[in-house]
Amino acid sequence: MVIRSRECDTKMGEIVAFRELVGLLDVAETVVVADALHCNKKSAKAVLDAKADYLLVVKDNQPTLRENIALFQRGADGE
């Protein structure tokens, strides 16, 4: 279901449009899911500011973040 959309000319435009849409929609107490393009601090903050949680894809082009996630997972598993 498409709730709202916005036309973008560039990838940067898509990132900004995502943040704007999160602010326009009532997403409080929901989980916002987005692809790796939106896996950055400003987009995550926009979701949190909207009182929602997020699930963002992390790819290999963010090696430090991937390693931190792996360390967290190992710690959570008691290894």
Whole-model pTM: value is 0.80
- Chain position carrying tokens 């290999």: 60
Q: What is the residue extent of each domain of the chain?
A: 11-76
Assess contact for 14 and 39: CB atoms under 8 A.
Answer: no
76: tokens are 């959570």
**What confidence tens digit (pLDDT) does each residue in 2-32 have?**
777 778 877 778 999 999 999 999 999 999 9
Of the two residues 47 and 7, the one the predictor is more confident about is 47
Instruction: Name the pLDDT band for 1 (thresholds 50, 70, 90).
Output: low
